[in-house]
Amino acid sequence: MSAGGRPILTPTYLQNHTVGVAGQQDVIWNPLYDSISYPSAGQLLFSFYANPQGQGTSSTPGAGAVAKSIYDTNLQIGNQLTAGNEFYMIGSESLFFPGVSNAALPSTVLPGRVNLPTTVGYFVNDVFSVGVGGIKTLTVGTDRKYIQDGPLNLFPPATRLAMVAALAEVSATGTGAGIEVTYAAWSGETYTVVPIYLQSNQNWTLTVQFAALIPTPSLQIGRLMDRMRGYLVRQAT
């Protein structure tokens, strides 16, 4: 029964969600994520989760040439979880951000607010070009593949920017300029998987492989991000 539309919380239900009881586990929604710079010339193979915090190179916009941090990944060791942590995976997302790099913020990397006919649509073209390629492969252990599917636009992000924009005309002669506001994201049903329960210190790899180099039409560096949607099961201390 419920009161005013709200469920009645029994002592047994509350006990199942007690925080910080030593020797017990608790469960939180905590997707695993990692991000990698996407070179303007493209790249054949991207290996996610191989470089944890403190290793590799950050792809966070404006961060500079520093090691990865919480802004890049939430893994503490490469390709596995630390002792006492397990992960129940239910889905997979890929996110692509055009025109961002660790050297500059997005608004300073792509062509500025004034656009010529030759620069119109760069954002959309970058998103489309990268999204029509790539095969994502999740392997647990040495050879058990739980995802091997593509292209990348089959793995849309769960959230995206919603917007309405007005565009000033850009001269067709190539001599005029205008203001362009464009945005695109892969969209559709969130990619779900038959749940995968990753144990502590169990090794996995997640790669995105392209058959050929796919340069960004904007000729700018992008940022490719992976999110393993699921629950973190952790040991209370």
Considering only CA atoms, which of 185, 180, 179 is closest in space to residue 162? Answer: 185
Q: What's the pLDDT at 176?
A: 56
3-state secondary structure of 64: coil
122-174: pLDDT as tens digits = 888 999 999 999 999 999 998 899 999 999 999 999 998 887 676 666 565 55
> Would you say 120 and 185 are in contact if contact means Cβ atoms under 8 Å apart?
no
- Nearest one of 97, 65, 41, 108 to 222, comparing CA atoms: 97
* 206-218 tens-digit pLDDT: 999 999 999 999 8
Report the C-alpha gap between 99 and 234 in whole angstroms.
37
Residue 113 has pLDDT above 60, yes or no: no
Q: Where do the structural domains in the chain lie, given as residue ranges? A: 24-114+123-158+187-235
Residue 170 CA to residue 202 CA, distance in Å, equals: 55
Identify the band that residue 94 occupies on the pLDDT scale cut at 50, 70 and 90: very high
> What are the residues whose beta carbons fall under 8 Å from the beta carbon of 217, sequence distance 6 or more?
122, 125, 126, 129
Question: pTM to 2 decimals?
Answer: 0.87
